């Protein structure tokens, strides 16, 4: 009985370890994809803006473009109405003097 119990614990440990490794691998792949996207955005936006430009990120979401524009040296006005997204923007950019955050929606007409 003891050996069967030991065998099951060893199997469970192996499965748990495999799951942990898989989870880490998935996280690393996601990080790599995010870095690739960031590089693409930097290359794209650097063709249109230069240091000191004022840029508006309307519907800033969680700030992917805001971050890139600020990194390029732009003064960024990020506008986002959704509370959850705006909270993330504040966490990321509240200390950044090049980014102004506005919690509003933008539309053609009031309402």
User: What pLDDT digit, counting tens, does each position of 38-49 carry?
Assistant: 999 999 999 999
Q: Which tokens sit at 64?
A: 């992917």
What is the per-residue pLDDT for 97?
A: 96
Dihedral angle sign, alpha carbons of residues 69, 83, 107, 109: negative
What is the per-residue pLDDT for 2?
A: 61
pTM, full prediction: 0.74
Mean of pLDDT values over 25-33? 85
Q: Which tokens sit at 106?
A: 């933008």
H or E stretch at 50: none
Q: Which tokens sit at 63?
A: 């700030």
Q: What is the DSSP string of 90-105?
A: HHHHTT-TTEEEE---
């Amino acid at each position: 009985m003891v050996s069967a119990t030991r065998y099951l614990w060893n199997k469970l440990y192996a499965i748990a370890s495999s799951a942990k490794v898989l989870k880490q691998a998935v996280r690393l792949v996601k990080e790599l994809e995010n870095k690739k996207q960031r590089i693409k955005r930097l290359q794209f936006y650097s063709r249109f803006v230069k240091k000191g430009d004022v840029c508006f990120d309307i519907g800033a979401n969680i700030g992917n473009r805001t971050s890139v524009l600020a990194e390029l040296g732009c003064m960024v006005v990020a506008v986002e109405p959704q509370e959850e997204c705006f909270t993330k923007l504040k966490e990321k950019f509240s200390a950044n003097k090049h980014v102004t955050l506005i919690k509003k929606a933008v539309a053609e007409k009031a309402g």
